Amino acid sequence: MDEGIQREALVATLAAIADRIESEKDHLTDLDSAIGDADHGANLHRGFQAALDGADPDDDPAAFVKAAGMALLSKVGGASGPLYGGSLAVASSEFEEGITTESSVAFAEAYLEKVKDRGGASVGDKTMVDALTPAVHTYKRAIEVDDLDPLAALSKAVDATERGVRFTTPIRASKGRASYLGWRSVGHPDPGATSTLYLLEEIHDVAAEYLDGEAATVVDAAAETEAEEGSGVEE
Amino acid sequence: MKKLINEPEDVVDEMLEGMVAAHPEYVRRLEGTNVLVRADAPVEGMVGIVSGGGSGHEPTHAGYLGEGMLTGAAAGEVFTSPTADQLQGMIAACEGGAGVLCVVKNYEGDVMNFETAIELAELEGETDVEYVVVDDDVAVEDSLYTSGRRGVCGTILVHKIAGAAAARGDDLSEVKRLAEKVVDGVGTMGMALTSCTTPEKGEPTFDLPDDEIELGIGIHGEPGVERTDVMGADAVAEHLTERVLEDLDLAEGARVATIVNGMGATPLMELYVVNRRVQELLDERGFDVGECWVGDYMTSLDMAGCSVTVLELDEELEELLGAPADTPALTVRGD
């Protein structure tokens, strides 16, 4: 992909995410009122709208992603501001040489690393880390071990993220505000894991529009045969 | 649900405008932000004491701006911590040359945004910034497996004592030491008769039938740690006070300060009824009560309920607690 198309794809991705968060805002807030403080949807919506409003389509990929991260950091507040925005801003430096298959893996890993570092959560704490970890591991594995193309790898990553969200439902929270509820947090999916899935789904869908359709078909078949591998999460 | 608001997204901004209009002699707003600072901030040569957190806890935080308490207060969205850039701006505006102490309640959002703000402030210049994390809620366990205890009403006592120490000219490390001493010696436990209703959601955050109450609530409309049948005021007072005393494990004859705090929709009449039993209990146990505060200090929007806070006093804390403070929400005349 040349850089012009990359910029266009990034703007489209941010717009798709902002749109999706807007339509899921009440659902996310409902999930959060079960085990948190009922503001996750409203907060992310405010942040992604600001990111979209402030987006400069002429920015190179690293600057574009960094600006989106800073907008989230300064508009979302709560733990989600530093987690979604701060991590995006830090990971954006992986795109300094442009978006390639390799840099997308590095970006995903840097993002996960910053989320874990800032939030201090690991898999099993009932947080977004439960969705993000299998997503990133699956993506990396699909590309580096299974030799899939990025779109097919993303598709597997989305499946893994979905399993990660399901994994958060029956467990007891030990990080985040839900942890104060103890056993009462059991039975509800984690709102942060859920919104992470929405982001991944939108990234996948926009990528599908921009990446080679023929390659995508081949890979979907490959993805199906290996669908159960490498989720990174014990169910 | 009926509320006296306009658009939910304008609530915080319009509240701050109203506060500044009511108390121009105490507070001013940093332009383009949701940060209020003392009208005379920064105070030359004085350690700045700053705090902040989600809105919906009024008079916390900006109600405590003024002499002898806070220098700066940042208001986040309802129940959402302020953003790191606003906190950074507040720190800069409250630096009078002696450094700044941030008083942070133990919620991940607050802690992460303050940490990010301090990193940003340090990158910018020489500002000497320290922070203390208040975790007085005895209802939740402090263990490796949870996020630690929440910061609730005891935070007001940290504001008061750190603010008094700064006002008399203590340096940053001394102010921090005293603030940490309060954090170590304070405990709070709360309960709810009703859920609160956030402006954004417009309906109660959790369902609570008429014949049940929640024990061990925080201040963000989250359910408590336990639900029980309705109890009378005395039984509630006993339950809350005993849980706090159990946690503090005070020596016999210890001197303490207490707060019976309303969550926003409980009449003072009921708070005084609760306080009556709290004081009886402390007396029965042989404790000696110094300051005894009753009122809405740290609320949770329109939640009905209360919390009981106990702070162990020694001579230096008692002197600072009784030192003069002049703020919109709290006035202490001093001796």
Closest of B135, B140, B274 to residue B217, by C-alpha: B140
Q: Which residue has the tokens 């963000």?
A: B220
DSSP state string for B129-155: EEEEEE--BTTS--STTSS-PPP-TTH
Phi, psi torsion values for B25, nearest 5 degrees: -75, -15
Strands B100-105 and B129-134: parallel
Give the H or E element holding residue A167: helix A150-168
Rounded average pLDDT over B73-88: 93
Q: Any idea what DSSP says for residue B70?
A: B
How far does the CA of residue B264 sit from the closest CA of chain A (Å)?
Answer: 17
Residue B2 lies in a domain: no
How far does the CA of residue B170 sit from the closest CA of chain A (Å)?
Answer: 32
Shared domain for B158 and B191, answered yes or no, is no
How many degrees, rounded to 5, is the angle at CA B329 between CA B323 and CA B331? 30
Highest mean pLDDT (candidates B115-129, B215-229, B319-333): B319-333
Q: What is the pLDDT of residue B143?
A: 57
Q: What is the pLDDT of residue A218?
A: 39
Q: Which of B112, B146, B220 sits opposite A82 (nearest CB)?
A: B112
Measured in residues, chain B has a length of: 335
Q: What is the pLDDT of residue A84?
A: 95
Q: Report how far residue A193's alpha carbon sits from residue A126's, in angstroms, rounded to the nearest whole number.
A: 8
Residue B56 lies in a domain: yes
Shared domain for B176 and B214, answered yes or no, is no
Find the residue in A nearest to B140 (Cα). A180
Cβ contact (<8 Å) for A177 and B146?
Answer: no
Q: Any idea what DSSP says for residue B67?
A: B
Q: What part of A 175-194 touches B (C-beta under 8 Å)?
A: 175-177, 179-182, 184
Mean per-residue pLDDT of chain B:
94
Tally of structural domains, chain B? 2
Here the tokens at position B219 are: 């201040």
Residue B67 lies in a domain: yes
Q: Is B57 a catalytic residue?
A: yes
Q: What is the pLDDT of residue B108?
A: 86
Rounded average pLDDT over B27-34: 97
Residue B48 lies in a domain: yes
Inter-axis angle of helices A191-210 and A40-54, to 10 degrees?
30
Rounded average pLDDT over B133-137: 96
Rounded average pLDDT over B37-44: 97
Residue B38 lies in a domain: yes
Q: Report how far residue A48's alpha carbon sits from residue B200's, in angstroms, rounded to the nearest whole number.
A: 17
pTM of the model: 0.84
CATH number at residue B285: 3.30.1180.20
Shared domain for B26 and B143, answered yes or no, is yes
Is cis: bond before B59, omega within 30 of 0?
yes
Question: Are A107 and A66 spatial neighbours (Cβ–Cβ below 8 Å)?
Answer: no
Q: Report how far residue B214's alpha carbon sits from residue B74's, in angstroms, rounded to the nearest whole number.
A: 29
Q: Is B220 a catalytic residue?
A: yes
Shared domain for B175 and B194, answered yes or no, is no
How many degrees, rounded to 5, is the angle at CA A122 between CA A117 and CA A127? 100
Cβ contact (<8 Å) for A77 and B223?
Answer: no
> Which of B185, B205, B231 represents a domain boundary (last residue)?
B185
CATH number at residue B74: 3.40.50.10440
Domain extent, residue B177, equals 10-185
So what's the ipTM on this one? 0.71
> Which of B140, B166, B185 represents a domain boundary (last residue)?
B185
Cβ contact (<8 Å) for B200 and A78?
Answer: no
Q: What part of A 2-41 touches B (C-beta under 8 Å)?
A: 29, 33, 36-39
Here the tokens at position B315 are: 């001579």
> Which of B185, B213, B246 represents a domain boundary (last residue)?
B185
Residue B250 lies in a domain: yes
Query: pLDDT tens across B281-326, in order?
Result: 999 999 999 999 999 999 999 999 999 999 999 999 999 999 999 9
Give contacts of B86 with chain A, Cβ < 8 Å.
Answer: 74
Residue B129 lies in a domain: yes
Q: Report how far residue A30's alpha carbon sits from residue B145's, in angstroms, rounded to the nearest whole number.
A: 25
Closest of A150, A167, A168, A161 to residue A206, by C-alpha: A150
Cβ contact (<8 Å) for A73 and B78?
Answer: no
Q: State percent of chain B over pLDDT 90.
A: 84
Q: Report how far residue A197's alpha carbon sits from residue A38's, in angstroms, rounded to the nearest whole number.
A: 19
How far does the CA of residue B63 sit from the closest CA of chain A (Å)?
Answer: 21
Give contacts of B146 with chain A, Cβ < 8 Å.
Answer: 174-175, 179-180, 182
Catalytic option among B57, B61, B159, B239: B57
Q: What is the pLDDT of residue A77?
A: 84
**What CA–CA distances, in Å, run from A168 to A135, B179, B222, B287?**
14, 38, 19, 46
Shared domain for B33 and B122, answered yes or no, is yes
Give contacts of B82 with chain A, Cβ < 8 Å.
Answer: 77
Residue B245 lies in a domain: yes
Query: pLDDT tens across A170-185, in order?
Result: 999 988 888 888 888 8
Predicted confidence pLDDT, tens digits, chain A (235 residues): 678 889 999 999 999 999 999 999 999 999 988 888 778 999 999 999 999 999 999 999 999 999 999 999 999 988 899 999 989 999 999 999 999 999 999 999 999 999 999 888 999 999 999 999 999 999 999 999 999 999 999 999 999 999 999 999 999 998 888 888 888 889 999 999 999 999 999 999 999 999 865 444 434 444 444 444 433 333 3
Query: pLDDT tens across B138-183, in order?
Result: 998 765 556 789 999 999 999 999 999 999 999 999 999 999 999 9
Catalytic option among B23, B61, B159, B220: B220
Shared domain for B126 and B74, answered yes or no, is yes
CATH of domain A3-211: 1.25.40.340
Find the residue in A nearest to B85 (Cα). A74
